[in-house]
Amino acid sequence: MTAGKLRSRLQFQKRGESDDGFGNTVTGEFETVFIDAAEIIPRMGSETAMASRLQGIQPYTIRVRSSSQTREIGATWRAVDQRSSTVYSIVSPPTNLDQKNAYIEFLATTGAQTDA
């Protein structure tokens, strides 16, 4: 793969943590950790019935260069496209498919509840 396919700019975000004043840690809003170039590859979508309604879920494979930051991404993170503001909910940790640590991929979805 060449770097020319990394056409999207994504903000990788995770939920912040704060103290509630009583010594407890609570999760807050999503905060941008870093911005990186990525390739977004659509996959076959699906429809699931939730609460007696059909809900379309579109999965994507997101490919980024492997770095210390991108290897930290977990299934609780999300990615926001800087151009279109599309929110991608990350559902799997990064995978090093080529076993050379050049690029990593992970599965993300849109259409599901991404801000819960």
Neighbours of 8 (CB within 10 A): 20
Mean pLDDT value across the chain: 85
Task: Answer whether residue 108 shows pLDDT above 80.
Answer: yes
**Counting Cβ atoms within 10 Å, is residue 106 exposed (0-12), middle (13-18) or buried (19+)?**
buried
- Nearest Cα residue to 12 out of 111, 116, 106: 106
**Counting Cβ atoms within 10 Å, is residue 114 exposed (0-12), middle (13-18) or buried (19+)?**
middle
Q: What is the mean pLDDT of residues 4-20?
A: 88
Task: Answer whether residue 109 shows pLDDT above 70.
Answer: yes
pLDDT at 115: 47
